[in-house]
Amino acid sequence: TMNVFRGLSLCFFGGYILLLIQPLTAAYTFAPNQTLTCALLVTNTTASTLAASENRFSMVLSPQASSLPQTIAALPAGGTLDISGKVTGLNVKLGEYLAKEAGIPFRLLAYRMPDSLFGTTDSVLQLRHVFGELGPESGIDCLVDSIFLTEERREITSFLAPHVLYSYQVVTLRRRKAQTAVWAKILTMFTPFNEWVWGWIMITVLCSSLVYYVLERKENDLDFGEPTIAENLWNSLFFGFATFTQLITYAPRTPVGRLFYLSYTFFILVVLSSYTANLAAFFGKKDVIEGAESLKDLLAKKLCVAKQHPSHRQWVSEHLPATKIVQVDSVKSIMESVRDGRCAGGLSTDLHLRGAFLLGDFCDLTLQGQPLNLGYYAIPFRYIRTAPSYSINSPEAYDALNTLLVRALSSGALLDLLTLYMPPNPTALLCKDTADEESDGDDVTTLTFYDMAGIFAIHALLTVFVIAL
């Protein structure tokens, strides 16, 4: 449903922009000497991102460019390197598509940020540097990093038409059946009562056996006909425990003994009924399901957010004030922290999270709930209002590129490209046999040998002990 909604949203949004800019671009023709030059900003994390060639959402190295991360990492501050054909990815392919449709070459540069910005992940500072401090003489027309649109960023530079709808989403552990230890199954028969109840039952039986002996020892030859006190006490204790089975019981003779026996049997009745009722519940209990069932389960708990996305952290602070934020190094670190239990969940855009599923085996995680907000990603572009029409940065060229992009989006020409680099459901592609693990546990469990092993073990031990005597 959400994918259909997003597709319709992009089509309507694209069609609206197309109607607005069509009159301005119908007569524009790109010149053969024009070139669309985009840049990959090199920071302290770029080399490692490129090395993670499985990350299709971001950038992927071409097979012949395995040494490129080291080369890029060695660039001096302010240095550039032509990496055309050596790196691919959604926005690179998008730039190549626009250039091809316009009939002009596409060029991709790696630009090493100055030392003062080398470690920053603040998009505002990056945009101000590239489109403000560098100026058009740098030759950089656009960036291959998608940036979601905000008013502050629009004031710094222009953007091509939005091409991806994004939202914030939360990743959590996949709901699954809890694993029960074998020893816990063996001790299932003892679970209806806690240790304190079992202790008080034993004390009550011992004391009741002693009291019954005191009350009946002189007039009850049937229960206490043994020659020694020790043997009669043993008989009383035996009858006290055997009465639980209702197969062997006391035979009181005195009025006070009979009154006491009524009280004792009522005690046994309550204990047995409580025990059997709880034991049936424990034996037939549903499987325990671990993992968050909804976003409400994560409120007031720890939520991981990537350091490189300060806007994500700000959104959590504003909309989930009771949630404790834990900052981690990257979106992949979010996935690892959720798996390790450092955080109950992790928040990022659905695009980043879906891409992170491609970075490792995260089939034990899942995207939780509905998207939390909506926005658009777009490619930053150098728009110069006073540039002559033959410049790629001119209003005419800018509008023409937007027309090509919107037409591609509204016609579905980029659908395969978007699906390839941002699979809507990566877990369905990468993870198998997850349906059973997500069972809601409504079925009653079948008893196993381990569930009943406790009573078998006790009876076997007592049998061996009796034989040994």
Please tell me which residue, 468 or 178, carries the higher pLDDT value.
Answer: 468
Q: Read off the pLDDT of each residue in 26-37 and give the average, rounded to a whole number.
A: 83
Q: Read off the pLDDT of each residue in 87-97 and give the average, rounded to a whole number.
A: 87
pLDDT in tens, 192-251: 777 888 888 888 888 888 888 888 888 877 777 777 888 888 888 888 888 877 767 778
Is the pLDDT at 447 greater than 50? The verdict is: no
Contact 172, 354 (CB under 8 A): no
* Confidence grade of residue 23 (pLDDT, cut at 50, 70, 90): very low
- The closest of 159, 171, 90, 121 to 376, measured between CA atoms, is 159
- The closest of 439, 455, 436 to 447, measured between CA atoms, is 455
* Confidence grade of residue 142 (pLDDT, cut at 50, 70, 90): very high
* Confidence grade of residue 151 (pLDDT, cut at 50, 70, 90): confident
Specify the pLDDT at position 140.
93
Contact 257, 214 (CB under 8 A): no
469 Cβ contact list (under 8 Å, min separation 6):
none
β-pairing, 365-368 vs 289-290, is: unpaired
- Amino acid identity, residue 277? A
pLDDT in tens, 153-162: 889 999 998 8
CB burial readout 338-375, b (16+ within 10 A) else e:
bbeeebbbbbbbbbbbbbbbbbeebbbbbbbbebbeeb
* Confidence grade of residue 35 (pLDDT, cut at 50, 70, 90): very high
Specify the pLDDT at position 220.
78
Please tell me which residue, 273 or 36, carries the higher pLDDT value.
Answer: 36
Chain-centre distance for alpha carbon 113: 33
Q: Which two tokens stand for residue 456?
A: 């078998």
pLDDT in tens, 173-184: 876 655 566 666
| Pairwise CA distance, residues 219 & 101, whole Å | 112
Specify the pLDDT at position 54.
42
- The closest of 353, 4, 338, 423 to 169, measured between CA atoms, is 353
Tell me which H or E stretch contains 42: strand 36-42
Tell me which H or E stretch contains 461: helix 449-468
Specify the pLDDT at position 425.
66
Which of 86-90, 142-146, 302-306, 319-323 is modeled with the greatest confidence? 302-306
| Pairwise CA distance, residues 236 & 210, whole Å | 7
Rounded to 10 degrees, the C-alpha dihedral 149/154/156/157 comes to 90
Alpha-carbon separation of residue 104 from 24, 25, 38, 132, 161 (angstroms): 20, 16, 13, 26, 19
Specify the pLDDT at position 262.
81
Is the pLDDT at 147 greater than 50? The verdict is: yes
- The closest of 435, 173, 169, 427 to 291, measured between CA atoms, is 173
pLDDT in tens, 49-62: 666 544 444 456 66
Tell me which H or E stretch contains 241: helix 229-242
217 Cβ contact list (under 8 Å, min separation 6):
224, 232
Specify the pLDDT at position 80.
92
pLDDT in tens, 419-434: 777 766 666 666 665 5
Beta bridge partners of 381: 142, 158
Is the pLDDT at 442 greater than 60? The verdict is: no
Sign, CA torsion 363/1/415/156: negative
Which of 13-17, 41-45, 81-85, 273-277 is modeled with the greatest confidence? 81-85
* Confidence grade of residue 458 (pLDDT, cut at 50, 70, 90): low
Tell me which H or E stretch contains 72: helix 68-73
Please tell me which residue, 105 or 282, carries the higher pLDDT value.
Answer: 105
Q: Which residue has the tokens 């591609």?
A: 408
Strands (E) located in 167-246: 168-173, 176-177
Neighbours of 152 (CB within 10 A): 11
- The closest of 158, 120, 155, 171 to 309, measured between CA atoms, is 120
- The closest of 343, 364, 367 to 355, measured between CA atoms, is 367
| Pairwise CA distance, residues 345 & 171, whole Å | 5
pTM score, whole prediction: 0.59
Q: Which two tokens stand for residue 152?
A: 């502050």
Which of 203-207, 298-302, 319-323 is modeled with the greatest confidence? 203-207
* Confidence grade of residue 301 (pLDDT, cut at 50, 70, 90): confident
Outline where 341-448 has alpha helix (H). Answer: 350-356, 395-411, 415-421, 426-430
Specify the pLDDT at position 427.
64
Q: Give me the percent of the chain exceeding a pLDDT of 70.
A: 72
Specify the pLDDT at position 310.
78
Please tell me which residue, 228 or 82, carries the higher pLDDT value.
Answer: 82
Q: What is the DSSP letter of 96?
A: H
Beta bridge partners of 328: 306
Specify the pLDDT at position 22.
46
